[in-house]
Structure 1
Amino acid sequence: MNLQSNGIINVYSIAILIIIGFHSFKNNEKGSCRYKLYLMMLQVTILMLIVDIFSRFDGMSNAVYPIFNYIGNLLIFILNPILPSLWLLYVHYQVFPEDKKTKLIYLLLTINIINLAMVVLTQFFGWYYYIDSQNIYHRGPLFYISFSFTVVLIVSAFATIVINRKIIAKKYYYSLVFFAIPPFIGVVLQIIIYGISIMLNSVVLSLLIVFLNIQNHSMNIDYLTGVNNRRKLDEYMEKKVFSSSSSKTFSAIMIDLNNFKCINDNFGHDMGDVALQISAKILNSCVRSNDFIARYGGDEFYIVLETHNINDLEIIVDRIKAAVEIFNESSNQPYSLGFSMGYAVYDYNAHMTVEEFQKYIDELMYENKQSNIEKRIKLGTA
């Protein structure tokens, strides 16, 4: 691939990444680790695409071109493991959002430091590569070690996704799995076919796929709690009702936070927001990854479950009640959480619409709420 064609492809790739970066600033998750890591991947890829153009002055005779070739290859080999390291961290925080694994960061830092040391020594011993007096790049005897860092990191990220597929929501799983495929193919082709350079351009394709997934995620997610929003709930419920049959149906739970107004009035709206976030975490901890949780509005949540057995549904309701009790016993928050819940299995033979089914569950939730109020009045805690 000559300098001109490589430069054109890289410039187009950079333009795509700049557009992605511009639109990423509108994302609701700007403060999250995942967003920061994604932005860092964009920045590192843009830098590597620019540097890659410099490394294409290979074999050209000019007073300046050997300097470009030297700087380009030096930086490319230094930056090579940084991009897959960021991707592995991104995958980790996508799979385990609450886990701040410093050991993984130290391990990745160690790998990059070792690679940096090898690149520096390569300038004297030609381990990874060397550039001869004719300004021609040659692979060194340890060239494959350099690319092995990249391959191992990509495979590690892929393995993390596959091993933990049961706890990854389906809407994220396929885009995460797909991310590794284009760069992996690009790396293999770059190793096998001398002179070809498509690995970075394949990364751009992967970053575009993840960006589209992030955009779709932002449109359907409640920014405060991180669960699905009302819009996504309505779409999901329509699909569930449409796909139901006499042998395959679903169930739903409507949850209302007790005394939420009192939390806001007594402790402030910031504390009320925290209560909503805690509630979402409690609900997430009580259901499976393929179950659906949404913020219905205000202080109300909705859970749609892949079960058509009332006994299984009641077990989940009891699990939620137990989780709330555990939180109240162990929490240092100045308030206690309480849920009022209405729940039911969708009766296919009744042919209820989404609105009718939601109204039915809402009525059950209201009955439970009134019952909870009466209990608190009797106990003198209302």
Structure 2
Amino acid sequence: MNLLVYTLQANIYALIILSIIFVNFRKRADLTNASNRFFLIMLKVVMAILILDSIGISLYGLAGQPIHFLLILLTLIYYLLNPLPSLFWMAYVHYTIHRSEKRLKKLVAVALLPVYLNSILSIASIFTGWLFYFGADNVYQRGPLFVMVPICCYFYIFLSFVMILWNRNRIRQRDLLPLLFFALPPFLAGIIQALIYGLAITWPALTISLLTIYIFIQSRTMNTDHLTGLYNRREFDYYLEDWMNWHSKKKQLAGFMLDLDRFKEINDNFGHNAGDRALINMSEILRKSFRNTDFIARIGGDEFVVVLEVDDQKEIDGLLERLKENMDNFNKQTQERYKLSVSSGSGMFFPEREQNLSEFFGELDRLMYVEKAMKKNISV
């Protein structure tokens, strides 16, 4: 069977898989999350590339000047889109690690050079045939500078791979392998495609990568609190189980148990919608107060936990002070009819005391309720 037929079949199978992922992801994903938006854009662009490639393959060899012009137009758009999935994969990885759109914009502004180069070469190829051209028989041919296209694409994949390895200590161990695996299918497909001229399987291979990341995102969603976007109790338990295997030997584990004060009064006086907003506002305050690398979870109705690695007690005191400042700022600026405050228990975990992590957080929980009881006595 002709290699183009194999390619067309692979494209159709890939499109079916991506269409199913796209429909399900768009229905269920939280698109306010930047990582999810980048993944959705990757899906759209790869689907568009597969459609363009499939239409082009179906038209190869057909006679006529209109077909010739149509093939050039389709191929031009195809080549213009080529680096975009890799670019948005780099954006996905960067945001997953650093959680900062401002920082990401600075990186993308510098990293867009390969996209510009690819665009210039693609448009110029209409007249020069640098990347592609069609003969009188309307059969696609690679141009002498075709190698620049995979170079532009693999630049972003390689940069993402380095970014993951460089920041591996900031990434959960169970998250590391799916992120690293993304580059493997298109990399192997690129080698096979270079060896067998006429076979184009890079984009179907990238479908395998996208399927892997989709499963990865779904598994993370199961461990996320749907209201606040923080981790849930299930992930907190997993985190404590994993911590001993991958934590930094140079730092010590610390924890914060936090409980919203007078949460029941907020619900009773202002309604459950106000209570939900209070939880969401509290989660945003926690995100601002702690670092991107710190683990933050909502483990009960109005109860939160933060797990982090620190050097000493001063670092804990500084984070508590920042939490207090951010909460004071919120209360000064908010239009809500309530003010937020928390009771907390915090401390450092010392394994030499033969205290396991469950007992440690149980002690922090006790300290938190002692503070809550003291506040009630003071208010009385």
Category of TM-score, reference length = shorter chain: 0.7 to 0.9
Question: 1:276 matched to which residue of 2?
Answer: 282
Q: 1:158 aligns with which of 156, 161, 174?
A: 161
- TM-superposed CA distance for 1:372, in Å, is 3.8
Question: 1:177 matched to which residue of 2?
Answer: 180
Instruction: Say whether the 8 Å CA contact 2:4–2:198 is kept in structure 1.
Output: no
Question: 1:327 matched to which residue of 2?
Answer: 326
Instruction: Say whether the 8 Å CA contact 2:279–2:302 is kept in structure 1.
Output: no
- Counterpart residue type for residue 20 of structure 2: I
Looking at structure 1, the residues matched to 25 and 106 of structure 2 have their Cα atoms a distance apart, in angstroms, of 29
Q: Structure 1 residues 186, 58: CA separation in 2 closer, same or farther (over 3 Å shift)?
A: farther
Question: 1:218 matched to which residue of 2?
Answer: 221
TM-score where L is the length of structure 1:
0.79
Q: Structure 1 residues 196, 154: CA separation in 2 closer, same or farther (over 3 Å shift)?
A: same
Question: 1:93 matched to which residue of 2?
Answer: 95
Q: Indicate the SS of the match to 1:56.
A: helix
Q: Does 1:54 align with 2:44?
A: no
Q: Indicate the SS of the match to 2:101.
A: coil
- Counterpart residue type for residue 276 of structure 1: M
Describe the superposition over 1:61-87 as per-residue Cα deviations: whole angstroms up to 9, x where unpaired: 544865665444333212111221221
Question: 1:14 matched to which residue of 2?
Answer: 15
Question: 2:141 matched to which residue of 1?
Answer: 138
Q: Indicate the SS of the match to 1:190.
A: helix
Q: Indicate the SS of the match to 1:138.
A: strand
Question: 2:344 matched to which residue of 1?
Answer: 340
Structure 1 unpaired stretches of 5+: 243-248
Instruction: Say whether the 8 Å CA contact 1:182–1:206 is kept in structure 2.
Output: yes
- TM-superposed CA distance for 1:13, in Å, is 0.8
Superposition pairs of residues 111-126 of structure 1, within 5 angstroms = 111-126=114-129
TM-score where L is the length of structure 2:
0.80
- TM-superposed CA distance for 1:133, in Å, is 1.5
Looking at structure 2, the residues matched to 68 and 8 of structure 1 have their Cα atoms a distance apart, in angstroms, of 22
Q: Indicate the SS of the match to 1:197.
A: coil
Structure 2 unpaired stretches of 5+: 246-251
Looking at structure 2, the residues matched to 360 and 146 of structure 1 have their Cα atoms a distance apart, in angstroms, of 58
Q: Indicate the SS of the match to 1:210.
A: helix
Runs of 4+ in 1 over 6 A off after TM superposition: 238-242, 346-353
Instruction: Say whether the 8 Å CA contact 1:254–1:365 is kept in structure 2.
Output: yes
Looking at structure 1, the residues matched to 361 and 327 of structure 2 have their Cα atoms a distance apart, in angstroms, of 29
Instruction: Say whether the 8 Å CA contact 1:254–1:343 is kept in structure 2.
Output: no
Superposition pairs of residues 36-55 of structure 1, within 5 angstroms = 36-55=37-56
Instruction: Say whether the 8 Å CA contact 2:10–2:201 is kept in structure 1.
Output: no
Alignment: residue pair count: 364
Q: 1:258 aligns with which of 258, 261, 265?
A: 261
Looking at structure 1, the residues matched to 168 and 240 of structure 2 have their Cα atoms a distance apart, in angstroms, of 24
- Counterpart residue type for residue 207 of structure 1: L
Q: Structure 1 residues 262, 343: CA separation in 2 closer, same or farther (over 3 Å shift)?
A: farther
Looking at structure 2, the residues matched to 12 and 163 of structure 1 have their Cα atoms a distance apart, in angstroms, of 35
Q: Indicate the SS of the match to 2:141.
A: strand
Describe the superposition over 1:9-46 as per-residue Cα deviations: whole angstroms up to 9, x where unpaired: 11111111111112213434222222122111111111
| Same amino acid, percent of matched pairs | 29
